[in-house]
Amino acid sequence: MPAGMQTPSPPHALSRIRPGTRFEFTSRSGRGYVCTLIYQGSGVSGLIVRYDGSRRLGRLDPNRVLRDSLVVQGGREPVLHPGDEVLVRTPSQRLRGVLAAPVGEEVAVERRGRTLRVGVRQVTGIELWFPVTGFCCGDDFAVQSLSGNHYTGRVLELGPGGRRFRGRLGDSREEVWLRVSRLEPNSLFVPVPVSIHDA
């Protein structure tokens, strides 16, 4: 190997885990966790889990996991739980709301006091909207400004302290800087794609 080049690190065992898999691990601080993998993306933005015994979602940095402590448990868990914020796409509509029941032959979404039901065969896409207080580079984002404007896109760059970020909007090539202090506090989401087979 040429001088100055580093030996690439072997892939982390977490990279081989599929969504819906329950696993346990010990963090570098010595604390044990059990959780279910929700989404396996790339970089620091991609690994999203649900902690066991709660609906709480969070990011997991593989560098926090002691490699020898990782234990994959048997069986699979649904990725989506009732109470999750979701966006459901069909050929004719987009439904955003709260998942009202486990996904079975249909997807039930509560929206503005009504429960709307869609057969799973009609679903062309479904996203879990992961609530965050700040973004990472590479995140997809969905936010609302204090003035009521909605923005979706991809985070390209973070400003100092993550207090603002540069994003590419939707499918366009338009890029804008958004300041977190000018967004509705509870409107920051990372839309996470979910396979209907894992839901």
Considering the entire predicted model, what is its pTM?
Answer: 0.86
Residue 8 lies in a domain: no
Domain that includes residue 151, residue range: 130-193
User: 135 and 108: one domain?
Assistant: no
- Classify residue 153 as exposed, middle or buried by CB count within 10 Å of its CB (0-12, 13-18, 19+): buried
Please give the C-alpha separations between residue 91 and each of 94, 121, 172, 191, 195, in angstroms, as whole numbers. 8, 11, 22, 19, 16
Helix (H, G, I), strand (E, B) or coil at 105: coil
The answer to whether 138 and 187 have CB atoms below 8 angstroms apart is: no
User: 70 and 55: one domain?
Assistant: yes
- pLDDT by residue for the chain (199 residues), tens only, comes to 444 444 344 456 788 889 999 999 999 999 999 999 999 876 666 689 999 877 789 999 888 899 889 999 977 889 999 999 999 999 999 999 999 999 999 999 999 999 999 999 999 999 999 999 999 999 999 999 999 999 999 999 999 999 999 999 987 889 999 999 999 989 999 999 999 988 8
> CATH number for the domain including 140?
2.30.30.140
For residue 70, the model assigns a pLDDT of: 92
Helix (H, G, I), strand (E, B) or coil at 172: coil
- Classify residue 64 as exposed, middle or buried by CB count within 10 Å of its CB (0-12, 13-18, 19+): middle
Residue 159 lies in a domain: yes
Half-sphere exposure of 186 (CA within 13 A, CB side): 1
**Residue-wise pLDDT tens digits, 45-54:** 668 999 987 7
For residue 9, the model assigns a pLDDT of: 42
**Residue-wise pLDDT tens digits, 114-132:** 999 999 999 999 999 999 9
For residue 186, the model assigns a pLDDT of: 92
User: 136 and 189: one domain?
Assistant: yes
Alpha carbon distance, N-terminus to C-terminus of the chain: 45
Please give the C-alpha separations between residue 186 and each of 13, 110, 182, in angstroms, as whole numbers. 34, 18, 12
Of 100, 124, 148, the one marking the end of a domain is 124
